[in-house]
């Protein structure tokens, strides 16, 4: 806009004065040089200011006028708009061009300014609210947490072990809360199931021998004295922990025994091919066997019960066991056979299994009513042996290792029970094993002479060698165990319960690193594959070689006995030491 140069007499705006008269209403106006505006406090008139160059003479005049003003210190002179010059000089600052815009424009500017101020206020409020919210969140997060915390202190020991394997072990673990507070629901359930089979109060087991006698037998130098002593329900939990078992394995055993008890027939027997009609099953369980042998099925179920220390005198299943034993005694023929009602191919299998059941029940309880039936069963077994040393499906038939292994296990139980066993029978059995070994030192075995060795037959053959007196320093035993563990470990993708059953007993007797490796894989495979829902809960699906012949009950009993290995038979090559 055009400007006019002020004269020497023109009024100037003192920089110390921050107000002047409003050109509209005469009220003081607030001058804000940094915004180049002057605003009326009453009517809202706003005047924009503009810098203009100032002549040197004018600057000097302004300086002199300022000095005079400071000496007189008069009150600031407010002049009306008509007297206000178009340009005002402030000291040596260039002249400011002052214009008075129309009232409408001034009010519009004031409205815009008010809106800006309102927006600034709102933004300030929002910023403060956000800051308060952030502080609240930080403050809440710093409050003490009541959930239990675990503090672990881990130190790894990197010492080299035999075989150049690196062993890493946790040396110190510190918990700030009790261990039971961090158990998973599955572990807590397993602990409840495991306690069902234990006896903590001696008053609950009046028929058991004194504990000091059990402790003495557990560390006896006689392996037959030690053999069944670990089954005692008062010490079984400690034996379980010492030998590598857990609450999960014991819970699996407890669930399996419950399934077996629910599928017992009214006459006390069990069935391989009709178990789904027992109790309240009503066909809800599947996978019946293709062969018939109630004697064999009953003997299998009793082995699982007795293996966990459940007898006809002690335990939560004593009535179940009592009825099963009564059935076997009733089914035994005059010559001692316990397989008169079984299919031909199941004959000697069933007799060996029933002999084991009677011998173990007698050894655990000392019930004299079982002595004679058990001895007659042993006598029948001895007379059924082939002249070459083996056994097969019917008495006197040339043997195979599968059937022979069960007969030797029955004779082993008989010797532990104090029953009479002819020494010549064991010597002949040893010669048969020589015929089915496939190498010079006897580390691998076949089903029959001249056939190829298999892992299952090797495990059964080596276990039979142990029953017949092989020691741990025998080259064939040492090489055979290590080859099985290294080349044929437990594979849950290819279940073979027959191999696992014999392999687990063999490697448990052997002990050491091989046992720890085998046990970890075996226990995990069986615990995770057990049926958990429905009426079949506690059993195992027979998805294994020969599973169709034996069916669900056969599979379940072998899996249960395998998980009972920690206490079912005390190890032959070492003693279990308990506190």
Cβ count near 337 (within 10 Å): 22
Residue 96 CB contacts under 8 Å (≥ 6 apart), including other chains: 13, 33, 36, 49, 50, 51, 52, 87, 88, 89, 90
Query: Strands 46-52, 159-160: parallel, antiparallel or unpaired by DSSP?
Result: unpaired
Q: What is the pLDDT of residue 31?
A: 65
Query: Which class would CATH give 196-568?
Result: mainly alpha
* Per-residue model confidence as pLDDT tens digits over 225-284: 999 999 998 898 899 999 999 999 999 999 999 999 999 999 999 999 999 999 999 999
Higher pLDDT, 186 or 19: 186
Residues of the chain with pLDDT > 90, as a percent, come to 60
SS (H, E, C) 313-375: CCCCCHHHHHHHHHHHHHHCCCCCCCCCCCCHHHHHHHHHHHHHHHHHHHHHHCCHHHHHHHH
Q: What is the pLDDT of residue 290?
A: 94
Cβ count near 519 (within 10 Å): 20
d(CA 273, CA 552): 9
* Per-residue model confidence as pLDDT tens digits over 75-112: 444 444 433 334 444 344 343 344 444 444 456 666 77
**469: phi then psi, degrees, rounded to nearest 5:** 115, 0
Q: What is the pLDDT of residue 11?
A: 41
pLDDT band at 50 (very low <50, low <70, confident <90, very high): low
Strand ranges (DSSP E) for 255-360?
A: none
| Residue 386: half-sphere exposure toward Cβ, Cα within 13 Å | 19
Residue 10, token pair as written in the block: 């023109």
Whether the model pTM is above 0.75: no
Strand ranges (DSSP E) for 33-154?
A: 37-40, 46-52, 87-90, 93-99
Residue 30, token pair as written in the block: 């607030």
* Per-residue model confidence as pLDDT tens digits over 298-328: 999 999 999 999 999 999 999 999 999 999 9
Q: Of 471, 395, 468, 392, which is closest to residue 434 (Cα–Cα)?
A: 468
* Per-residue model confidence as pLDDT tens digits over 400-430: 999 999 999 999 999 999 999 999 999 999 9
Q: 100 and 23 in contact (C-beta within 8 Å)? A: yes
Strand partners, 50: 97
Query: Strands 19-21, 28-32: parallel, antiparallel or unpaired by DSSP?
Result: antiparallel
Residue 510, token pair as written in the block: 């052997």
Domain ranges of the chain: 19-104, 196-568
Q: What is the pLDDT of residue 325?
A: 98
Cβ count near 142 (within 10 Å): 7
């Amino acid at each position: 806009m055009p400007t006019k140069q002020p004269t020497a007499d023109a009024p100037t705006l003192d920089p110390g004065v921050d107000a002047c008269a409003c050109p509209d209403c005469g009220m003081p106006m607030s001058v804000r040089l940094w915004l180049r505006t002057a605003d009326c406090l009453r009517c809202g008139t706003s005047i924009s200011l503009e810098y203009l160059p100032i002549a040197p003479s004018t600057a000097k005049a302004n300086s002199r006028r300022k000095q005079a003003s400071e000496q007189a210190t008069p009150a600031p002179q407010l002049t009306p708009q008509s007297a206000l010059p178009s340009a005002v000089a402030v000291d040596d600052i260039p002249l400011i061009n002052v214009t008075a815009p129309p009232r409408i424009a001034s009010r519009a500017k004031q409205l815009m300014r008010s809106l800006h101020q309102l927006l600034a206020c709102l933004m300030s409020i929002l910023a403060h609210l956000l800051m308060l919210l952030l502080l609240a969140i930080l403050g809440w997060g710093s409050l003490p947490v009541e959930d239990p915390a675990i503090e672990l202190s881990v130190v790894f020991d990197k010492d080299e072990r035999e075989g150049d394997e690196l062993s890493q072990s946790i040396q110190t673990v510190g918990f700030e809360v009790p261990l039971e507070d961090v158990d998973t629901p599955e572990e807590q359930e397993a602990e409840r199931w495991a306690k069902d089979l234990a006896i903590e109060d001696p008053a609950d087991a009046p028929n058991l021998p004194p504990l000091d006698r059990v402790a003495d037998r557990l560390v006896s130098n006689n392996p037959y004295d030690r053999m069944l002593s670990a089954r005692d329900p008062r010490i079984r939990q400690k034996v379980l922990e010492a030998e590598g078992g857990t609450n999960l394995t014991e819970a699996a055993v407890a669930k399996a025994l419950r399934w077996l008890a629910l599928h017992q027939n009214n006459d006390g027997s069990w069935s391989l091919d009709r178990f789904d009609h027992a109790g309240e099953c009503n066909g809800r369980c599947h996978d019946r066997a293709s062969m018939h042998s109630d004697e064999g099925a009953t003997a299998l179920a009793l082995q699982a019960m007795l293996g966990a220390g459940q007898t006809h005198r002690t335990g939560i299943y004593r009535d179940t066991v009592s009825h099963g034993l009564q059935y076997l005694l009733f089914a035994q023929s005059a010559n001692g056979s316990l397989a008169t009602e079984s299919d031909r191919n199941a004959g000697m299998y069933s007799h060996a299994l029933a002999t084991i059941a009677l011998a173990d029940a007698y050894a655990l309880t000392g019930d004299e009513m079982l002595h004679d039936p058990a001895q007659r069963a042993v006598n029948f077994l001895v007379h059924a042996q082939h002249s070459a040393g083996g056994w097969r499906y019917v008495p006197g038939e040339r043997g195979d290792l599968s059937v022979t292994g069960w007969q030797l296990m029955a004779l082993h139980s008989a010797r532990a029970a104090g029953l009479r066993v002819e020494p010549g029978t064991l010597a002949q059995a040893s010669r048969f094993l020589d015929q089915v070994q496939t190498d010079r030192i006897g580390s691998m075995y076949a089903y029959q002479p001249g056939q190829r060795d298999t892992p299952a037959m090797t495990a059964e053959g080596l276990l039979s060698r142990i029953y017949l007196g092989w020691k741990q320093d025998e080259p064939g035993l040492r090489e055979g165990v290590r080859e099985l563990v290294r080349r044929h470990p437990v594979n849950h993708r290819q279940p073979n319960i027959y191999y696992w059953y014999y392999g687990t007993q063999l490697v448990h007797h052997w002990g050491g690193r091989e046992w720890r490796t085998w046990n970890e894989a075996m226990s995990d495979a069986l615990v995770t594959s057990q049926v958990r829902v429905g009426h079949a809960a506690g059993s195992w699906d027979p998805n294994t070689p020969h599973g169709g012949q034996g069916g669900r009950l056969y599979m379940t009993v072998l899996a249960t006995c395998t998980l009972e290995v920690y206490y079912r038979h005390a190890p032959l090559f070492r003693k279990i030491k308990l506190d």
